[in-house]
Structure 1
Amino acid sequence: MDVFVRVVELGGFSAAARAFRMTPSAVSKLIARLEGRLGARLVNRSTRKLQLTPEGSAFFDRATRILADIDEAERAAASGDRPVGRIRLNTNASFSTHILAPLLPEFLARYPDVSLDIVQTDAVIDLMEERMDVAVRAGPLKSSSLIARKLGATRMMIVGAPSYLARAGEPKTVAELEKHNRLGFCYSRAIEGWPLASGGQVIPLPAVGNIQTSDGEALRVMAVAGVGLARLAAFAVREDIRAGRLQPVLEDCNPGDLEEVHAVYLGQGGPLPARVRALLDFLAERAPPAFRAGL
């Protein structure tokens, strides 16, 4: 299994043979023996390149995780379950910038044998396919085999820069808000549009503006630059509001909805690797009190 994974990662039998100090023919025989035992072809061989079959691709994903678990088990046994190794973390840019990054120096000082690979995207990814240990996701969770741990929650707020409001006017009603440049996201979200309390009911207003983006942090930057209004997490704009770069808009129409933030990871409730458990416990302990309280 280890040889097969290395063949795929290095792109060929010869490269894997050099890594294991074996002959290419010995590597080829090992892969052939593995295919014979599984009863499935894993790779299509050619003189120019190696191509995985669908069965080979699925086996590679699982084999990679199994080998990582074995490595983690050996590390844990050797270190007395001390957090050791690399954590691959997927999160959106806003959480990474405003919650995670300020905490990382303390985390790394507490766990010097742990390192992190942080991949930022607002899109929902497949943890197994992307080989991620943990993903941080905001909003309602879909039913899945993933295990979830709540890290906190945040209010959502409509905000605008003083320069934009001076130019376009500050909306006082939902009807006036409809005339403004409403910056939004270009991917499907659990709640489409901006929910606004009006006349005793909550009405979603589409975020129709001249910019749609997949990055919440880019949306915040454009709002600060005076491009238009944006509806963003309170933790992402709190410092901008305090510094006068942004100001809340139509707070009396804010329905007070909260967007929960969870850490999700693969597994069926079994023991977590020590390094992953350390990160989750640390975030739950050290995240800003307002975020943990949903303010």
Structure 2
Amino acid sequence: MNDRLQQLAIFVRTVETGSFSKVAREFGLSQPSVSRMVAALEERLGVKLLTRTTRQLSLTDAGEALLTRARDALAGIEEAENAARGADRLSGMLRVALPATFGVRQIVPLLPVFLERHPGLKVDLMMADRLENLIAEGADMALRLGEQPDSSFVTRRLATARRLFIAAPSYLVRRGAPSSLADLDRHHLIGGPSDGSEPNWTASRDGVSETRPVDPRLRTRSAAGAVACASAGLGIATASIWMCGEELASGALVEILGHYRLAPVTAHVVFPAGRRPTQKARAFADYLAGALVEGA
């Protein structure tokens, strides 16, 4: 990358992250080097791009004008290079933010085929059970589960999986199996990440919807935690087939209340707002749309 392009790239990432030190780590430079490159860009253009205080960086009007065009220019260069190589020869780094358990269980097994098709591509799996700030983290795309209320992002549906009530056989031996949602009042319940602070469990039976307030004995902020607690015989949980399929297959967990239907969970790909999705991100989304199995 020549000096002018690197200056633009560093300027864009400095704005997106709000941190010289984070950009320095991304580019393998020292923090003073990053600061000097932004200053050199300002000197070359003859305008002030950033206002620096001890707590934050903010854009000037000139910086606002440059930011969008710089993003477009950098994306255009990458697109042009990939177009010259051909659609089957993507290269560079693809950064994907995604939930940890979903990534380990569903996405990682799909990577070998995709990476074999694109040997010049590298992938950074930014796994975390929290919603990433896609722009600040530098992600090209995110994989997210459930409804996506933020309309400022570009989203695409990938696949849908059934959710179910689960428990360990050892728990059912001790406590018995519930036959209705009302029976859950007499059981130990495990609240997962989608249940909220005051959860209700809603399911339909013969087309009729029922809602029960639940007071979990255990709460967890990760799907893996809920499945692990249920597998340990600690109570009843809800989970998608994507998250608990291995335990069901091994017999560590069994489905209960099978005559009820919980709302399914949908996987989406989310692209950062304010920029066109990169070619490598679109290619990975296309691949996942065909490879990710619908969880019946």
> TM-score normalised by the shorter chain: which range applies?
0.7 to 0.9
Partner secondary structure for residue 251 of structure 1: coil
Q: 1:5 to 1:132 in 2, by over 3 A?
A: closer
Q: Find the counterpart in structure 1 of residue 90 from structure 2.
A: 83
CA distance change for structure 1 residues 199 and 187 in 2, over 3 Å: closer, same or farther?
A: closer
1:164-195 CA distance string (max 9 Å, x none): 11122211222221121211135665x94321
Determine whether 1:31 maps to 2:38. no
Contact 1:88–1:133 (8 Å) recurs in 2:
yes
Match status 1:43 vs 2:52: yes
CA contact (8 A) 2:192 2:237 kept: no
Tell me the residue number matched to 2:120.
113
Report deviation, 1:3: 5.5
Extract unaligned runs of 5+ from structure 2: 1-7, 15-19
Root mean square deviation, CA, Å: 3.5
Once residues 211 and 262 of structure 1 are traced to their aligned partners in structure 2, the CA distance between those partners, rounded to angstroms, is 28
Aligned counterpart, 1:171: 178
CA distance in 2, matches of 1:130, 1:3: 14
Q: Is the 8 A contact 2:161 2:266 kept in 1?
A: yes
Report the CA distance shift for 1:13/1:284 in structure 2 as closer, same or farther (over 3 A): closer
Q: Which residue matches 2:58?
A: 54
Asked if 2 retains the 8 angstrom alpha-carbon contact of 1:84 and 1:274, the reply is no
Using the aligned pairs only, state the percent identity. Answer: 26
Classify the secondary structure of the residue corresponding to 1:37: coil
Q: 1:180 to 1:269 in 2, by over 3 A?
A: same
Secondary structure at 1:228's aligned position in 2?
coil
Deviations 1:62-81 (A, max 9, x none): 68855752552353244234
2:162·2:241 contact (CA, 8 Å) conserved in 1? yes
Q: Give the number of equivalent residue pairs.
A: 274
Task: With the length of structure 2 as denominator, give the TM-score of the two structures.
Answer: 0.77
1:1-295 matches, within 5 Å, as 1-2=8-9, 4=11, 8=20, 9-10=23-24, 14-16=32-34, 28=39, 30-31=41-42, 37-38=47-48, 41-44=50-53, 52-55=56-59, 65-66=71-72, 68-81=74-87, 82-185=89-192, 192-197=199-204, 201-252=208-259, 254-266=260-272, 272-288=277-293, 291=294, 294-295=295-296
Deviation sequence 1:195-252 (CA, Å, 0-9, x none)? 1336974233344323212211121122111122110001222232122110111112
Q: Which runs of 5+ in 1 are unaligned?
A: 18-23, 45-49
Q: Return 6-15 or 214-223, whichever deviates more.
A: 6-15
